[in-house]
Amino acid sequence: MDLTLAILKPDCVRRKLTGKAIDFIESKGFKTLCMKKVKLDRPQAEAFYAVHKSKNFFNDLILFMTSGPCIPMVLQKEEAVTEFREIIGATDPKKAKEGTLRKLYADNVQENIIHGSDSMENAKKEIAFFFPLTEIIS
Ligand code: UDP
Ligand code: MG
């Protein structure tokens, strides 16, 4: 079955929405294969979001992602990548569909509580960024 990488972002942890977010994800049929709480430093956050380096929101995004602990997790489901993007909703919660995680809980386009990989290729890279193969329970 397919895997994707999710991150409960620092706003999610700070606002004590961790339990609600995990409950929502599990209720949609995802299995949590791995999770841990980490605090990213600047080089790590910059490496993770390297694809956005040229964007005007990059520096603020890095400050946000390093502002407190976050919880990366490996999720498993059929079509995990597209299914997960579907249940989290659009990047900007104002544009997210009703019933999606970001519509339910996110504050704004930056503090949108959760990350989800956008392709199977990126999911593989992002999982490897946080979890050595030995930590992945299959
Ligand atoms: N972001 C932001 N301003 C924007 C677009 C994105 O602060 O105008 C932040 C937001 O936290 C988002 C992350 O940068 O989740 C990565 O952006 P991307 O376009 O990859 O959105 P995602 O894949 O998370 O929906
Ligand atoms: Mg993205």
Q: Decide if 128 is inside a domain.
A: yes
DSSP labels for 20-89?
HHHHHHHHTT-EEEEE--B---HHHHHHHTGGGTTSTTHHHHHHHHTSS-BEEEEEEETTHHHHHHHHH-
Q: Decide if 89 is inside a domain.
A: yes
Q: Decide if 86 is inside a domain.
A: yes
> What is residue 124's predicted lDDT score, i.e. its pLDDT?
96
Which ligand is the nearest neighbour of the Cα of 7? 1
Q: Does the Cβ of 118 fall within 6 Å of ligand 1?
A: yes
What pTM did the predictor assign? 0.97
Q: Decide if 56 is inside a domain.
A: no
> What is residue 24's predicted lDDT score, i.e. its pLDDT?
98
> What is residue 135's predicted lDDT score, i.e. its pLDDT?
83
Q: Decide if 49 is inside a domain.
A: no
Q: Decide if 44 is inside a domain.
A: no
What is the domain extent for residue 78?
Answer: 2-38+71-135
Say which CATH number the domain at 87 has.
Answer: 3.30.70.141
> What is residue 18's predicted lDDT score, i.e. its pLDDT?
98
> What is residue 50's predicted lDDT score, i.e. its pLDDT?
97
Q: Decide if 14 is inside a domain.
A: yes
At position 48, the amino acid (one-letter code) is: F
> What is residue 55's predicted lDDT score, i.e. its pLDDT?
98
Q: Does the Cβ of 66 fall within 6 Å of ligand 1?
A: no
> What is residue 137's predicted lDDT score, i.e. its pLDDT?
75
Mean pLDDT for back-to-back runs of 10 residues, the chain (138 residues): 97 98 98 97 98 98 98 98 98 98 98 98 97 82
> What is residue 136's predicted lDDT score, i.e. its pLDDT?
78
Instruction: State the catalytic residues.
Output: 115
Which ligand is the nearest neighbour of the Cα of 94? 1
Q: Decide if 79 is inside a domain.
A: yes
Q: Does the Cβ of 115 fall within 6 Å of ligand 1?
A: yes
* Structural domain count, the chain: 1
Q: Does the Cβ of 100 fall within 6 Å of ligand 1?
A: no
> What is residue 133's predicted lDDT score, i.e. its pLDDT?
83
At position 69, the amino acid (one-letter code) is: P
Task: For ligand 1, atom 2, name the residue with the nearest CA.
Answer: 110
